Amino acid sequence: MAHIYVAFFAFIVGALMGLLQGLVRGGMIELPSWLGYYQILTVHGVLLALVFTTYFIFAFLFAGGSRTLGAMPDGIRKLGWIGFWVTTIGTLMAAVLILAGEASVLYTFYAPLAAHPLYYVALTLFVVGTWIAGAAVLAHYFGWKKANKGQKTPLFGFMATATIILWIVACLGVATTVLLQMIPWSFGLTDSMNVLLSRTLFWYFGHPLVYFWLLPAYMAWYVCIPKIIGGKLFSDSLARLAFVLFLLFSIPVGFHHQLMESGVSEFWKFVQTVLTFVVIVPSLMTAFSIFGTFEQTSRLQGGRGALGWLGKLPWNDVRFFAPMMGMLIFIPAGAGGIINASYQMNAVIHNTLWVVGHFHLTVGSTVVLTFFGISYWLIPHLTGRKFTPFLNRLGMVQTWLWAIGMFFMSGAMHLMGLLGAPRRTAYTTYQDHPTAMAWFEGMFTNYITVAIGAVILTAAALLMFYNFIYMVWLAPKGETEFPVSEPSSDASTTPAIFENWKLWIGIVALLILFAYTIPVYDMIVNAPPGSPVFNNLIK
Ligand code: HAS
């Protein structure tokens, strides 16, 4: 619950900043002089994409671990608390600096934009805190494994372990650039830095970061949804294989965020693009598994014909409906990702609003709607309250509002991006504001449409925040189930090799060395003159 409190507090502040941004870009309001556009964009991105997600994920992993592996031993629980406090100190420091206007560097904090040096210390604490909390998740799982030698581990624990290993390996990149480049540079110990290397280390982390968000949503799809719809998971082995593939292939692909970066040779971009297309496969396997689960379950309940089984799904149960809406949205969102990863098409969409549309569909809809769906049973489960029909109705309305708001906002962002609307700009730097706005005048290619979507989304966010308050303090006392599905028939035949973590970590290391050693060596040896500090650039 401690994680959930921080998550939802960050959520509501971050969401309100999103509203301000939509209205500013729609030309409907002007920010007061003491509040910068990049400052609110940074608050929005950091609070929603980093703080809300990370805290929610740890809440889910800890709760699910206790549910499936047994109560956490005291020592491990203490480790979890230490992780929580270190992360929270980092979060508070970062929040104060952003609000003070000392770190308006957006959630990607690209050099040569510079924040206050303490901001990088705050980020370090954030990452170290999550590592400590992650160590607690791993210790719980490996403790269970030791005590139950030879037995197959519960699927939830297996998936949580893959997610945390992915996170720890991914963070090595961002930790390297922050500790070795940004901290010395921002404290004035070095007077320039290798920006290309820093961006490369960031994206080594930045892409697996999106799977750190996605995998817990997939855990709910694989482990909880089958139970909610009254069935069993289609295949235990297929689910484990998908997570192993994510672990292997989600890291050596960061160059697909740098396809337009001149300092990386086309060969290495090609290699990492191929690997990007490999990491699409486990998502396609997931789609297959989920369809399989839906169809198998519904047919057992009497669903007939090619599509008749659809009618058997519990459409009016928000615990199913919210994640299901996320799944549906992931179909176009994933297709958008495949477009982004295709070199020539990336040249069309890179640095445009299309990318912002893409991540509002992926993390902002697929992942977040799934997290809302989880909240509707996880929070009452933890607070000892009931999942009431009233809460279900509120949840259904909230899900529809979120999906409709996102349709307008993200739809308009995609179209405007295709027409060349740039991302991340308040139009103050390179064109007269009204002239720039006049480029986009269509019904769906308009900043007004983005703003309308943002207003509907804010209504959805406020309702979600009310639902959170209801679930914590107002709902009647009682019990709510933490749904965990039984594995279906093939569970006993799940190959033992999936539990061989040393093997998977070894392969991860080899793939990373293959994809990064030569290009990183090139960047260091042929480094261009370093970039000076531009800390006044965006104030
Ligand atoms: Fe992405 C940029 C490529 C997935 C997030 N991405 C971003 C950024 C973010 C982000 C935040 O190649 C911006 C970063 C920045 O600030 O600059 N992305 C991909 C690819 C995938 C992908 C290939 N992205 C995600 C996910 C994210 C996310 C997931 C967050 C959670 N992305 C890119 C690229 C860029 C990029 C380039 C850089 C662009 C640039 O130039 O700057 C793939 O993983 C997508 C695979 C997904 C699928 C969909 C499978 C569908 C499923 C649902 C099935 C539905 C069912 C329901 C079962 C193939 C699993 C049926 C139900 C019934 C009832 C019918």
* Average pLDDT in the chain: 92
Q: Where are the alpha helices (DSSP H) in 301-446?
A: 305-308, 318-341, 343-349, 353-361, 368-383, 389-418, 433-437
| Best residue for ligand 1 mutational test, from 278, 355, 367, 406 (most atoms within 8 Å of Cβ) | 355
Is 358 or 111 the better-scoring residue by pLDDT? 358
Instruction: Examine residue 404 and state whether it is found in any structural domain, yes or no.
Output: yes
Instruction: Examine residue 267 and state whether it is found in any structural domain, yes or no.
Output: yes
Distance 426 CA to ligand 1 centre (A): 26
Does the model's pTM come out above 0.90?
A: yes
Q: Number of C-alpha atoms within 13 angstroms, CB side, residue 200?
A: 26
Instruction: Examine residue 174 and state whether it is found in any structural domain, yes or no.
Output: yes
Atom of ligand 1 nearest to the CA of 342: 12
Question: What are 227-285's pLDDT values in tens digits?
Answer: 999 999 989 999 999 999 999 999 999 999 999 998 899 999 999 999 999 999 999 99
Q: Rounded to whole angstroms, how far apart are CA atoms 53 and 469?
A: 19
| Residue of 8, 5, 14 whose CA lies nearest to 457 | 14
User: Ligand 1, atom 63: nearest CA belongs to which residue?
Assistant: 328
Q: Rounded to whole angstroms, how far apart are CA atoms 440 and 536?
A: 31
Atom of ligand 1 nearest to the CA of 108: 16
**Residue range 31-45: average pLDDT?**
91
Asked whether 212 lines ligand 1 (CB < 6 A), one says: no
Q: pLDDT-based confidence at 330, cuts 50/70/90? A: very high
Instruction: Examine residue 102 and state whether it is found in any structural domain, yes or no.
Output: yes
End-to-end CA distance of the chain: 37
Instruction: Examine residue 242 and state whether it is found in any structural domain, yes or no.
Output: yes
Q: Is the pLDDT of residue 535 over 50?
A: no
User: Ligand 1, atom 55: nearest CA belongs to which residue?
Assistant: 327
**Residue range 70-88: average pLDDT?**
96
Q: Is the pLDDT of residue 78 over 90?
A: yes
Question: What is the phi/psi pair of residue 233, to 5°?
Answer: -65, 135
pLDDT of residue 489: 65
Distance 288 CA to ligand 1 centre (A): 17
Q: Token pair 């609110």 is at which residue?
A: 40
Exposure class string for 64-102: b at 16+ Cβ within 10 A, else e: bbebbbeebeeebeebbeebbebbbebbebbbebbeeeb
| Residue of 347, 233, 213, 246 whose CA lies nearest to 296 | 233
Question: What are 486-514's pLDDT values in tens digits?
Answer: 877 666 778 889 999 999 999 999 999 99
Distance 341 CA to ligand 1 centre (A): 10
Distance 336 CA to ligand 1 centre (A): 7
Instruction: Examine residue 354 and state whether it is found in any structural domain, yes or no.
Output: yes
Q: pLDDT-based confidence at 392, cuts 50/70/90? A: very high
| Best residue for ligand 1 mutational test, from 41, 46, 210 (most atoms within 8 Å of Cβ) | 210
| Residue of 150, 34, 103, 25 whose CA lies nearest to 412 | 25
Instruction: Examine residue 537 and state whether it is found in any structural domain, yes or no.
Output: no
Asked whether 215 lines ligand 1 (CB < 6 A), one says: no
Instruction: Examine residue 178 and state whether it is found in any structural domain, yes or no.
Output: yes
**Residue range 96-116: average pLDDT?**
91
pLDDT of residue 539: 35
State the CATH number of the domain containing residue 375. 1.20.210.10
Asked whether 485 lines ligand 1 (CB < 6 A), one says: no
Asked whether 371 lines ligand 1 (CB < 6 A), one says: no
Which positions are catalytic?
207, 211, 358-360, 423-424
Number of domains in the chain: 1
Range of the domain at 189: 2-525
